[in-house]
Amino acid sequence: MSAEDRAEGGVEPVVVPYTELSPEALRGVIESFVLREGTEYGERDVSLEDKVSQVTRQLRRGEAWIVFDPESESIDIVVVPPGPRMR
């Protein structure tokens, strides 16, 4: 991204279809997301495998998206607002 792009308000985040990632890359993105501090699953302990499975299901159902932010060069998983969903 050029300095001009940043000066003009930056580049919009990009939705990355989970199907475009290799299984290894997808697993890495999901694990990174669920292992972040502050990710809370309530009072009971939830295993890493269960957390990864839950997020994978949300991605498959279109309830969550993988989003790449070119400005910060970071990737995140976000809950999709109600309305039309990608599959």
Q: Domain map of the chain by residue range? A: 20-37+46-80
pLDDT digits (tens, 9 = 90+) for 21-77: 999 999 999 999 998 865 565 667 788 899 999 999 999 999 999 999 999 999 999
Quote the CA–CA distance of 87 and 76 in Å, as a whole number: 18
Q: How far apart are CA 57 and CA 63, in angstroms?
A: 8
Q: What is the pLDDT of residue 1?
A: 44
The token pair at 17 is 């279809």
Q: Determine contact, residues 63/85, Cβ cutoff 8 Å.
A: yes
Instruction: Please name which of 59, 16, 52, 14 lies closest in space to residue 33, comparing C-alpha atoms.
Output: 52
pLDDT of residue 39: 56
What fold does the segment set 20-37+46-80 form as a domain?
Answer: Arc Repressor Mutant, subunit A (1.10.10)
* Secondary structure percentages of the chain, helix, strand, coil, to 5: 40, 15, 45
